[in-house]
Chain A
Amino acid sequence: MYGVQGDNGAGKSTLLRVIAGLIEPTAGSVQVFGRKPRDAKRSLGYMAHASMLYDELDAVENLLYFGGLYGVGRERCEEAIRAVGLDPALRRRVGQYSQGMRQRLSLARAVIHNPALLLLDEPFSNVDAHSAREMVALLARMRDEGRTVFIVTHQPALLEGVADEFVSMESGMIVARWPARGAAATIESARVERTQEARR
């Protein structure tokens, strides 16, 4: 599990979109399990900053549709909804969900086809602390099941003790790699140092 951290505009989301095959890299190349991202779509699960869900549909309707794109049936859809702590029997439309519920359902959509690589763009934004901790525990279980997880986040402290490594990005480049233990404090002090240097 990798935590990807950096200031706004550092290129974190762009990096995930390149790995997901949504945009072509302007230089270099990307391989996902030895293949181009375009040819590895079944191995990829992508969760963007936005929910990527239809507000007018309920949770099961959304997941049945997106699951259908991968040939996944109703049983697996309901299982994925339960796995993120939501109730598949809830017939409320996603537009009426809280931000936390939406993020959980978005995660269920991303993992519905059991991808080997998960790309998550700020999955904890606007989520309360309790829900965020539950999501982290769920992601840790997924990692333990053998998945590779990339998480772009502005809250590295949440992944402390869970992520295997943190990378810091600046201007589209990976500028530092941090071991997981104590990463949040190290990242914060590095950020303060950079800010002070910039002021000087």
Chain B
Amino acid sequence: MIAVLRATLAKDLRLEWRSKDAVNSMLFFALLVAVIFSFSFDPTAEESRRIAGGLIWVAFLFAAVVALNQTWARELRSQVLDAYRVSPASPNALFLAKAVGNFLFVALLEVLMTPLFIVFYNLRAIGPVWQLALVAALGTWALVVNGTFFAAMSIRTRSREVMLPLILFPISIPALIAMVQATTGILTGELSPRFWINLLLVYDVVFTTACLVLFETVLDAE
């Protein structure tokens, strides 16, 4: 299973490196959100710290959906997904490779966009910065694991671009609240993010397990 996971991940990274479909569209989208919000508001440094958690995560969530929608599209072209399905390779290896690939794409987006958010909103964390990295990692996984799963569910629907956010956003609300609260807590230094980080951790474990259990059924649904 590990070998198939690695091979699928390497293949997806190579395909993305050659096409840059997902990363480019995510970057442009997140950049637009950051710029438009910075023109719409003119907050003080303290106000920025209070709203930045929400702004950043909403921008990343919307941008991630753009990439998540493309996750399976490539597999449907030329019926490539059927070649995987007739092979003895584990469906969960495919799912995890896709989820890890999406995690890396969204993480790259976050690395590139965070300095811009810092500049546009004059951000400076009062709480421990290392916890931001933890929140980002757990939060990103929460978005991509569900996103990858629901994108697979919606690939055979006619309006999958609309369907994915319709299913993904409601189910991501607990994770999104935890991400925003934890980020705001770290930026303002006013509350401990420990509870929200633990909540994210539990959310990740529960939804990763559920996705792994159900993915084979989703993959084989015709």
Residues on B with C-beta less than 8 A from A52 are 78-80, 82-83
* Assembly CA distance A37 to B83 (angstroms): 14
Which A residue's beta carbon lies closest to that of B93? A69
Q: Determine if A109 and B3 form an interchain contact, defined as CB atoms under 8 angstroms apart.
A: no
A2 CB–B CB distance under 8 Å? no
- The main secondary structure of chain B at its interface with chain A is helix
A53 in the interface (beta carbon within 8 A) = yes
Most A CB contacts (10 A, CB to CB) among B80, B86, B89 go to B86
Beta-carbon nearest neighbor of B80 in chain A: A52
Determine, out of B14-22, B47-55, B105-113, B189-197, the stretch whose residues face the partner at the interface: B14-22
B156 at the interface (CB under 8 A from A): no
Q: How far is the CA of A42 from the CA of B4 in the complex (A)?
A: 15
Option from B80, B85, B88 in Cβ contact (under 8 Å) with A70:
B88
Q: Tell me the interface secondary structure of chain A in the complex.
A: loop
Nearest-neighbor residue (CB-CB) of A40 within chain B: B88
On whether the beta carbons of A57 and B11 are closer than 8 Å, the reply is yes
Q: How many residues of A contact B (CB 8 A)?
A: 27
Name the residue of chain A whose CB is nearest to the CB of B75: A54
Report the nearest B residue to A41, measured CB to CB.
B88
- How close is A188's CB to chain B, nearest CB, in angstroms? 30
Q: When A51-B78, A56-B15 are in contact, do A41 and B83 touch as well, CB less than 8 Å?
A: no
C-alpha gap A46/B222 in the complex (Å): 17
The residue that B82 contacts in the complex, of A42, A48, A55, A61, with Cβ under 8 A, is: A48
Q: Which residues of chain B in 62-95 are interfacial with respect to chain A, using CB atoms and an 8 Å cutoff?
A: 74, 77-80, 82-89
Contacts of A50 in B (CB 8 A): 78-79
Asked if B202 lies at the interface with its beta carbon under 8 angstroms from chain A, I say no
Chain B interface residues (CB < 8 Å from chain A): 3-4, 7-8, 11, 14-15, 18-19, 74, 77-80, 82-89, 222
Binding site for B on A (CB under 8 A): 20-23, 41-42, 44, 46, 48-57, 61, 64-66, 68-71, 109
Q: List 26 A-B contacts (CB under 8 A).
A: A21-B85, A21-B86, A22-B82, A41-B86, A41-B87, A41-B88, A46-B86, A50-B79, A51-B78, A51-B79, A52-B80, A53-B80, A53-B83, A54-B11, A54-B15, A54-B78, A57-B14, A61-B11, A61-B14, A64-B7, A65-B8, A68-B3, A68-B4, A69-B87, A70-B87, A70-B88
